[in-house]
Structure 1
Amino acid sequence: MSGPGFDLARVRADFPILRQEVRGRPLVYLDSAATGQKPQAVLDAITRYYTHDNANVHRGVHILSERATQAFEDARETVRRFIHAKDVREVIFVRGTTEAINLVAATYGRKHVGPGDEVLISAMEHHSNIVPWQMVCDAAGAKLRVIPVDERGELRMDTVDALLTEKTRLLAITHVSNALGSVNPIKELVAKAHAKNIPVLVDGAQSVTHFPVDVQDLGCDFYAFSGHKLFGPTGIGVLYGKLSMLESLPPYQGGGDMILSVTMEKTVYNRVPHRFEAGTPDMAGAVGLAAAIRYLEAVGMQNVSQHDQWLLAYATDALQSIPGLKLVGTAPHKTGVLSFTLEDVHPHDVGTILDQEGICIRTGHHCAQPLMQRFGVAATARASLALYNTREDVDALVKGLHKVKEVFA
Structure 2
Amino acid sequence: MNEIRKQFPVLNQEVNGHPLVYLDSAATSQKPIQVLEAVKNYYELDNSNVHRGVHTLGNRATDSYEGAREKIRKFINAKSTQEIIYTRGTTTSLNTVASAYGRMNVNEGDEIVISYMEHHSNLIPWQQLAKEKGAVLKYFDLEEDGTITMETVRNTITDKTKIVAITMASNVLGTINPVKEIAEIAHSHGAIIVLDAAQSAPHMSIDVQDLDCDFLAFSGHKMCGPTGIGVLYGKQALLEVMEPIEFGGEMIDFVGLYESTWKELPWKFEGGTPNIAGAIGLGAAIDFLTEIGMDKIAEHEHSLVEYAIQEMDKIEGLSIYGPRDPQKRCGLITFNIDGVHPHDLATVLDMNGIAVRAGHHCTQPLMKWLQCTATARASFYMYNTKEDVDRLVEGLRIAKEYFNDVF
TM range (shorter): over 0.9
CA contact (8 A) 1:96 1:227 kept: yes
Q: 1:353 aligned to 2:348? A: yes
- CA RMSD of the aligned region, Å? 0.8
CA–CA separation in structure 1 for the residues paired with 2:148 and 2:384: 28
Task: Note the C-alpha offset of 1:331.
Answer: 4.9
> Aligned with 1:178: secondary structure?
coil
What is the CA deviation profile of residues 36-64 of structure 1, one whole-angstrom value per residue up to 9, with x for unaligned ones?
A: 00000000000001111111111111111
| Counterpart mapping for 1:202-351 below 5 A | 202-332=195-325, 333-351=328-346
Q: 1:108 aligned to 2:101? A: yes
What is the CA deviation profile of residues 113-137 of structure 1, one whole-angstrom value per residue up to 9, with x for unaligned ones?
A: 1111111101110000000011111
Deviates more, 1:17-26 or 1:150-159: 150-159
CA contact (8 A) 2:159 2:190 kept: no
- Residue in structure 2 matched with residue 364 of structure 1 by the alignment: 359
2:383 to 349, 367, 388: 388
Task: Note the C-alpha offset of 1:169.
Answer: 1.0
Task: Note the C-alpha offset of 1:167.
Answer: 1.6
Q: TM-score of the superposition, structure 2-length normalised? A: 0.98
Task: Note the C-alpha offset of 1:156.
Answer: 3.6
What is the CA deviation profile of residues 164-185 of structure 1, one whole-angstrom value per residue up to 9, with x for unaligned ones?
A: 1122110001000001110000
CA contact (8 A) 2:218 2:231 kept: yes
- Residue in structure 2 matched with residue 47 of structure 1 by the alignment: 40
2:188 to 195, 220, 234: 195
Q: 1:14 aligned to 2:3? A: no
> Aligned with 2:85: secondary structure?
strand
CA–CA separation in structure 1 for the residues paired with 2:47 and 2:148: 46
CA–CA separation in structure 2 for the residues paired with 1:163 and 1:151: 18
Q: 1:172 aligned to 2:165? A: yes
AA at the equivalent of 2:150: M
Q: TM-score of the superposition, structure 1-length normalised? A: 0.97
> Aligned with 2:348: secondary structure?
helix
CA–CA separation in structure 2 for the residues paired with 1:226 and 1:202: 13
What is the CA deviation profile of residues 187-234 of structure 1, one whole-angstrom value per residue up to 9, with x for unaligned ones?
A: 100011111121100000000111111111100000100000011000
AA at the equivalent of 2:194: L
What is the CA deviation profile of residues 54-100 of structure 1, one whole-angstrom value per residue up to 9, with x for unaligned ones?
A: 11111111111111111110000000010111111100000000000
CA–CA separation in structure 2 for the residues paired with 1:157 and 1:324: 33
Task: Note the C-alpha offset of 1:157.
Answer: 2.7
> Aligned with 2:233: secondary structure?
strand
What is the CA deviation profile of residues 251-288 of structure 1, one whole-angstrom value per residue up to 9, with x for unaligned ones?
A: 12101111101111100111111010010000000000
CA contact (8 A) 1:154 1:331 kept: no
- Residue in structure 1 matched with residue 135 of structure 2 by the alignment: 142
Deviates more, 1:324-333 or 1:378-387: 324-333
Q: 1:406 aligned to 2:401? A: yes
- Residue in structure 2 matched with residue 132 of structure 1 by the alignment: 125
What is the CA deviation profile of residues 345-388 of structure 1, one whole-angstrom value per residue up to 9, with x for unaligned ones?
A: 11111001101001000001110111111111111110000000
- Residue in structure 1 matched with residue 78 of structure 2 by the alignment: 85
Task: Note the C-alpha offset of 1:150.
Answer: 1.2
CA contact (8 A) 2:84 2:266 kept: yes
Identical aligned residues as a percent: 50
CA–CA separation in structure 2 for the residues paired with 1:64 and 1:110: 40
CA contact (8 A) 1:182 1:331 kept: no
- Residue in structure 1 matched with residue 87 of structure 2 by the alignment: 94
CA contact (8 A) 1:147 1:156 kept: no
CA contact (8 A) 2:161 2:189 kept: no
Deviates more, 1:301-310 or 1:35-44: 301-310
AA at the equivalent of 2:350: D
> Aligned with 2:253: secondary structure?
strand
> Aligned with 1:201: secondary structure?
strand
Task: Note the C-alpha offset of 1:162.
Answer: 2.4
